[in-house]
Amino acid sequence: MGLGAVLRDPARHAFSVNQNILRNSQRVWVFWANAGIASRGGKVKEVLRVGVDITARKQRLEALAQELRGIGQLLEGRAWVQRKKLKEITKRINEISYELERPWEESKSGVYESVAPPER
């Protein structure tokens, strides 16, 4: 985005973020706020640009993003374990469901017991 674009439409270019190179060749990220200064006729004649170095913030955000990616990979690994456990639990639920479909009757102790022999 050049200064001409800001002069033509300051509202469209009110804010931007880009990487800049300092005189010492260091790269920095800068948040820019641009405001058009109008002449008496209402035409933008100047642009006030204020830049804030956000390099440290951008680096922190990238470090957090990297950490989140690592957590995501860890959780994906845990999800595999959980899926395996879920298959085992599902198998057991199916076994229990089968047992529940068999005839039951109350025993002398008041506990219901299956009266049908298990079919396997």
pTM value is: 0.52
User: Would you say residue 113 lies in a domain?
Assistant: no
Q: Which domain holds residue 79?
A: 61-100
| Whether pLDDT at 108 is above 70 | no
Identify whether 39 is part of a domain.
Answer: yes
Is residue 62 within 8 Å of 29, Cβ to Cβ? no
Instruction: Specify whether 77 is located in the same domain as 37.
Output: no
Chain segment 55-72, per-residue pLDDT in tens: 999 898 888 888 888 888
Residue 112 lies in a domain: no
Does residue 120 belong to any structural domain of this protein?
no
Is residue 116 a part of any domain in this protein? no
Residues 63 and 56: beta-carbon distance below 8 Å: no
Has residue 1 got a pLDDT over 70?
Answer: no
Instruction: Please give the residue that has the higher pLDDT: either 88 or 96.
Output: 88
What pLDDT, on the 0 to 100 scale, is given for residue 111? 54
In this prediction, residue 55 carries a pLDDT of 94
Domain total of the chain: 2
- Please indicate, yes or no, if residue 109 is contained in any of the structural domains: no
Q: How many CB atoms lie within 10 A of CB 1?
A: 11
Q: Tell me what pLDDT residue 103 has.
A: 56
Asked whether residue 42 falls in the same domain as residue 71, the answer is no
